[in-house]
Structure 1
Amino acid sequence: MRTSIATVCLSGTLEEKLQAAATAGFDGVEIFEQDLIVSPNSPESIAALAAELGPSLDLYQPFRDFEGVDDEQFAANLARAEAKFQLMKRMGMTTILLCSNVATATIDDDEVVVDQLRRLGDLAEKYDVDVAYEALAWGRFVSEYARAWDLVKAADHPRIGTCLDSFHILSRGTDLSRIAEIPGEKIFFLQLADAPALSMDVLSWSRHHRVFPGEGAWDLTDFLTRVAETGYAGPVSLEVFNDSFRQADTRRTAVDGLRSLRWLEANVTAARTGSDPVRLDLQPLPHVSEPRGIDYVELSTDALGALTRQIHQLGFRFVGFHRTKPHVQLWRRGQARIVVTETTEPGVESAGPAVDSAESGDPSVEPASPAADFAESGTRLRGIGFAVDEADAAMERALLLSATEVPRDQAHDEEVLRGVFAPDGSEVFFANGTGEDPQWTDEFGNVPDDRQSAIDHINLAQPAHHYDEAVLFYTSLLALTALPSQDVPSPTGLVRSQVMSSVDGAVRMPLNVSPDHSTNALSRGAGSSGETYPEHVAIACDDIFTAATTAVARGLKFLAVPQNYYEDLAARFDIAPELLDRLREHNILYDRDDSGEFLHFYTSTIGSVFFEMVERRTGYHGFGAPNAPVRLAAQHRRNKES
């Protein structure tokens, strides 16, 4: 499948955008007119640069407000079009995007529009240019793809075709059945964008909130499947207007865009039920199933004593030091495993997953690698190991989706573990999950532990500019599902939270963007004003009160819960007084739904990490969301006091 990206998707200069698209691996680019206008380089120079870098120049866009006008205006529009055709010839470009008129159209008459399209086609013929006519969702008279196609069909000109844009079609909730009527050769161009489900005017939605496929709410697999089955064989291009993308690192955004197209391509390959071949040359990816669970969490710290003391207070048992890396420890509570890497020594490496690129000095990792977002000091969540059915297939898929491999040194007799950097700079490793203790734990010794405990969920803080990238990353690499996002109030603003989950709930990862996470760099929870938005690991247990009693006996100081919370709890739920007293005594929070109950408590924060102990009763599947503001406020107070 030929891939393309509009330069409007990316930040930077036109030259930087071309370089980023080429480095990411796109086959072509769309030149957004404003990018060319503001460039100091000539059209010929831009064409030569593109030829040197590799991507073809697939589309010049946009040409606006052409049809449905009076004769005088039409003559001026033809002259304007001819100037653009001459410019395209200088660049060797052969396709232009014609948007349906939104500003100057005064004649809503199909015969007039058809005639004007036909005359434009005659002019385009002189310059060997194809015109792709697109219905903008807010077009004055032409706003539906079906009507745009009817006009193109009536014009019956070899130089006039249509452009299908998923945003303009799906944002209006348009019936897609008529796509099948359009011959593939009359679809001159295809543009894709996803979008979150929002209730707002379509123009603002389009200009600010488009995202790459897989990062929004639309079924683009169905959309692309329908287009592929028309016989369309041209580029599949991204046209995304997004405020965050235009401020983010150009190369990373380009990589994220290509990942979205490769993921979508594989989805269409798997979804097609017909045996008839399509001309898009769709390629599959290695299949991966949802992870079986969390194999381990790795924390790095320069406060080893404080961190391991808190882990011990939560009932974890010390398994041992790594046999070749004495600065690395393993702690265990049932099937919950925490690898702790001490980082007081410069250049130390982790035993479970990897070594950060910045520490390894690996020259193959470009500065745009997500690892550059990772702070080198403090206590932070360094990585996650996922138990998967086929670790090799998961790794192959990750690399084909443009993920960056984590460099890792290991002895000849150590378990081979491979992983990649996540968008926030943390590390994701794949281990074959069999339901038994993984082999890598033998490198620490073996301490059996049959307690009913496991990692329940991991709450990850995300930089705002890479939030959508993270959603696509976990969707495409690990087959996780993005649940509807929620906004949680905190003392410093709203925290946006979206859960990535496996269908069976074995893996649950809320991704959070906090109100002050507005910069590219993520110092593992530190916002630009100094307020911290930490990450946490939640541990499941079968008796929250026993866990709390053990923790208190070992000296743990819980995150304090105000008395007002328990008075409100008594008002909201019919809770037995003795249970309410036990909750209050241990600073335990409570939630209930139609399926069951959820009891949990929090520790204080060390660096940018804290822990949560949870007990799920019967079928409760949530995260105690009503209690999140209580926790955020308590953390805010603790931060102010410290």
Structure 2
Amino acid sequence: MRRSIATVCLSGSLAGKMDAAAAAGFDGLEIFEPDLVSSETSPEEIRARADRLGLSLDLYQPFRDFEGVREAELLDNLRRAEARFAVMRRLGIDTVLVCSNVGTATVDSDEVSAAQLRRLGDLADGFGIRVAFEALAWGRYIDDYRRAWRVVERADHPAVGVCLDSFHILSRGHDPAAIEDIPGEKIFFVQLADAPYLSMDVLSWSRHHRLFPGEGDFDLPDFVRRVMSAGYRGPLSLEVFNDTFRQTDTARTATHALRSLVWLEDQASKSLTGTGLQQLPALEPPSDLDFVEIKAENTDAVEEVLGQLGLTFLGQHRTKPVRLWASGQARVVLNEQHARDLEPHVAAIGVQVSEPYDVEARARALAVAGVVRRAAAGEQRLAGFSAPGGLEVFLGENSYGDEPAWVQEFQHGQPPALRAGRQSDANVTGVDHVNLVHTWDDQDEAVLFYTSVLGLTATPATEVASPHGLVRSRVMRTAAGRIRLPLNVAPAVSTAYPEHVAFSCGDIFGVAAGARVRGMRFLPVPNNYYDDLVARFHLDQATVDRLREYQLLYDRDEHGTFLHFYTRRIGRMFFEIVQRSDDYDGYGAANAHVRLAAQARLEP
């Protein structure tokens, strides 16, 4: 299956977009007319450059406001089309995208639109060009692909077919099932875009909020399966209008785009055969979080807090300046190697998978950059990859609750028997979630990374208020919740927005009491918060006083309750302790603004 991308998806010059698309591994391009018009490169030179790069030029787009008009306007539209077809012949492009009329249509008639497309087909045929008619979601009269197909069918011209765009179909909630009723040879082109579900006008939604496959809420695998079942075998092409992608590095975005298309092919191929869609190595989502790594030039302050929270020092790595702390299934690696001038920050996570080599092969097929770390003789090699945002992700084999083999590389710590004996309800039992921070230009790419490489599921995006603006958050997780990675985009004016590791426990009051005895200074919670708890949840005064005593926060929904508290900030991070009761599955989002305001007050 050939893969194509519209130049509108990428930033920079037309030449730069072509180079980036070829380097990423695309087979072809859609030429977006404004990119051509603003370029100093002639159509002949663009065609030659594409040939040198091994790119086909698959589509010229868009040709707007053609059908549904009076005769005088039609004649002018045919004149415009003839000029465009002459340019397309110079480019060597044989398919033009004609959008349904949104501005000048005055005749709401399938018969009229079909007759006008037939005349356009006659003109295009003389240039060796095909017309791919697309129903725009905001078309004045034709805004449904099923009506566009009826018009094309009525036109009955060999040079006139349809273009199917996933955004225009799925954003309107149209049932894609009827795609399979269209003969494959009459589907001239297919354009793909994902998007989050938003309550806004469809034009603004389309122009600013499209995403690459796997990053939004549309069921694109089903869409592609229906297109392929209809018999379509042309390019699968990305057409993504997005303000972020048009401002980010061209090469990076092109690689990101191809990864999304490879992932989509794999997802769509699961119930199809003989379509040419690429299949990736099989994927079983991770079973558990293996470890969290915190890196800094000096991790003494982190060790102090870990000790206050009741974690145990397990030992120093036998060949590296790396130490291990743990409690229950929570393992924290403190790394001072190659960390000059770095403040404490979340640098890596390890995940446990059933077949590390399969996941490694899958990541490489998705063009994910690997991470190489030196391993001495006898030490376990963990395959690693760099996630968008800089976090390193390492793959370990399932330990099924036992101590992973790599732990034996840490010496001179607590013996296993003593470590096991210390566990109780008043101890940390595991890592509940790792809260990561991304910039505005890499969160969507991170969603795709965790979806395509690890098989995590993305929850809908939410927003919480901070003293510096809104924080956008989206959680990547396994179905059972053994791995939870909230991805946050901090306000642009907020510098060094901190990340954090949240530990789970069975008795949060016991953990808090032990931490206080060991000298912990909790993140202070204002008295106004506890007064508000009484009003919101009708808690008795004794319960509220006990929460206030340990600076605990409280949340409750129809599924259960959530108790949590925070440490103060250490460099670029901090810790959280949480206790979930019953089936509570959230993160205390209603309390986030209290935490953010408290941290802002304590910042130097």
TM-score class, shorter: over 0.9
Which residue in 1 is equivalent to 2:28? Answer: 28
Aligned with residue 459 of structure 1, among 435, 440, 449: 435
Distance 1:256 1:344, change over 3 A: closer
Cα shift at 1:320? 1.3
Other-structure match for 2:595: 631
Note the C-alpha offset of 1:125: 1.4
In 2, Cα distance between equivalents of 1:47 and 1:324: 56
Would you say the 8 A contact 1:299–1:338 is kept in 2?
yes
SS of residue paired to 1:484: coil
Q: Distance in 2 between matches of 1:303 and 1:637?
A: 25
SS at match of 2:212: coil
Q: Is the 8 A contact 1:194 1:213 kept in 2?
A: yes
User: Does the 8 Å CA contact 2:322/2:337 hold for their aligned counterparts?
Assistant: no
Corresponding residue of 1:291: 286
Contact 2:295-2:336 at 8 Å conserved across structures: yes
Task: Encode CA deviations 1:21-40: one digit per residue, 9 max, x unaligned.
Answer: 11111111111010011111
Equivalent positions of 1:68-79 (< 5 A) are 68-79=68-79
Change (3 A) 1:18 1:344: closer
Q: 1:470 aligns with which of 441, 446, 467?
A: 446
Which residue of the partner structure matches residue 231 of structure 1? 231
Shift of 1:196: 0.8
* Distance in 2 separating the partners of 1:163 and 1:63: 13
One of 305, 319, 332 as aligned partner of 1:338 = 332
SS of equivalent to 1:464: coil
Q: Give the structure 2 partner of residue 617 of structure 1.
A: 581
For the pair 1:381 / 2:346, whether they are aligned, the reply is yes
1:421 to 2:386 alignment: yes
- Contact 2:468-2:494 within 8 A present in 1 as well: no
Counterpart in the other structure of 1:604: 568
Give the CA deviation at 1:109. Answer: 2.5
Q: Counterpart in 2 of 1:537?
A: 501
Q: Give the Cα separation in 2 of the matches to 1:251 and 1:313.
A: 46
Instruction: Measure how far apart 1:271 and its partner are.
Output: 4.0
Q: 2 CA distance for matches of 1:143 and 1:292?
A: 45
Distance 1:613 1:502 in 2: 20
Q: Is 1:132–2:135 an aligned residue pair?
A: no
- Equivalent positions of 1:133-532 (< 5 A) are 133-272=133-272, 277-278=273-274, 280-325=275-320, 327-343=321-337, 377-435=342-400, 436-445=402-411, 447-448=415-416, 449-450=419-420, 451=423, 453-516=429-492, 529=493, 531-532=495-496
The one-letter code of the counterpart of 1:43 is P
In structure 1, the residue matched to 2:556 is: 592
Over the matched positions of the two proteins, sequence identity in percent amounts to 55
Q: Tell me the SS of whatever aligns to 2:441.
A: helix
2:101 is aligned with 1:101: yes
Letter in 2 for 1:403: V
Q: Structure 1 residue 434: deviation in Å? A: 2.3
CA distance in 2 between counterparts of 1:286 and 1:16 reads: 32
Q: Which runs of 5+ in 1 are unaligned?
A: 347-375, 517-528
Cα deviations by residue, 1:563-594 (Å, 9 ceiling, x for unpaired): 11111112222434333222111111112223
> How much does 1:302 deviate?
2.3
Aligned length: 593
Q: Which runs of 5+ in 2 are unaligned?
A: none
Given the superposition, is the C-alpha separation of residues 113 and 597 from structure 1 closer, same or farther in structure 2, using an over 3 Å criterion? closer
Letter aligned with residue 307 of structure 1: V
**Distance in 1 between the 2:69 and 2:551 partners?**
71
- CA deviation digits over 1:493-525, x for unaligned, max 9? 111111111111111111111122xxxxxxxxx
Give the partner amino acid of 1:143: D
AA aligned to 1:228 is: M
Q: Distance in 2 between matches of 1:478 and 1:345?
A: 28
- The reply on whether 1:546 has 2:546 as its aligned counterpart is no
What are the equivalent positions in structure 2 for 1:55-66 lying under 5 Å apart? 55-66=55-66
Contact 1:482 1:500 in 2 (8 A): yes
- The residue type paired with residue 313 of structure 2 is F
Structure 2 match to 1:524: none
Residue 222 of structure 1 aligns to a residue whose secondary structure is helix
Q: Distance in 1 between matches of 2:238 and 2:318?
A: 49
- If the length of structure 2 is used for normalisation, what is the TM-score? 0.95
Distance 1:607 1:422 in 2: 22
Whether 1:88 and 2:88 are equivalent positions in the alignment is yes
- Residue type of the alignment partner of 1:442: Q
CA offsets 1:463-517 (integer angstroms, 9 cap, x no match)? 111111111111111111111221111111111111111111111111111122x
Asked whether the equivalents of residues 286 and 353 of structure 2 are also in contact (C-alpha less than 8 Å), the reply is yes
1:145-202: CA deviation from partner (whole Å, max 9, x where unpaired): 1111111111111111110001111111112232111001100000011111111111
SS in 1 for 2:486: strand
Q: Matched residues in 1 for 2:305 and 2:109: separation?
A: 74
| 1:333 positional shift | 1.3
Counterpart secondary structure, 2:246: helix
Q: CA deviation at 1:612?
A: 0.3
**1:343–1:377 Cα contact (<8 Å) kept:** no
**CA distance 1:578–1:479, change in 2 (3 Å):** same
CA deviation vs aligned residue, 1:541-576 (integer Å, no higher than 9, x gap): 121122112211222111000111111112222434
Distance 1:168-1:530 versus aligned 2 partners, 3 A rule: closer
Q: Secondary structure at the match of 1:245?
A: coil
Deviates more, 1:557-566 or 1:439-448: 439-448
**TM-score in terms of structure 1 length:** 0.90
- The CA deviation string for residues 42-99 of structure 1, in whole angstroms up to 9 with x for no partner, is 1111111111122211111111111122222222211211111111111111111111
User: Of 536, 545, 559, which residue of structure 2 is paired with 1:581?
Assistant: 545
Task: Output the CA distance in 2 between the equivalents of 1:14 and 1:385.
Answer: 40
Matched position secondary structure for 1:23: helix
**Conserved? CA contact 1:29–1:56, under 8 Å:** yes
Instruction: Find the aligned partners of 2:534 and 2:140 in 1 and give their Cα distance.
Output: 57
Query: In 2, are the aligned partners of 1:301 and 1:307 still within 8 Å (CA)?
Result: no
In 1, Cα distance between the equivalents of 2:324 and 2:51?
53
Q: Distance in 1 between matches of 2:204 and 2:36?
A: 24
| SS of residue matched to 2:370 | coil
C-alpha distance in 2 between matches for 1:412 and 1:378: 30
Offset of residue 618 of structure 1: 2.7
**Contact 1:166/1:191 (CA < 8 Å) preserved in 2?**
yes
**Letter in structure 2 aligned against 1:415:** Q
CA distance in 1, matches of 2:112, 2:585: 59
Mapped partners of 1:288, 1:177: distance in 2: 28
CA distance change for structure 1 residues 45 and 488 in 2, over 3 Å: closer, same or farther? same
Tell me by how many angstroms 1:344 deviates. 6.9
Q: Measure, in 2, the Cα distance between the counterparts of 1:593 and 1:481.
A: 22
CA distance in 2, matches of 1:147, 1:26: 32
Opposite residue 301 of structure 2, the aligned amino acid is A
Distance 2:57 2:377 in 1: 49
Give how far 1:118 is off. 1.3
Letter in 1 for 2:368: A
Aligned-pair CA distance for 1:209: 0.7
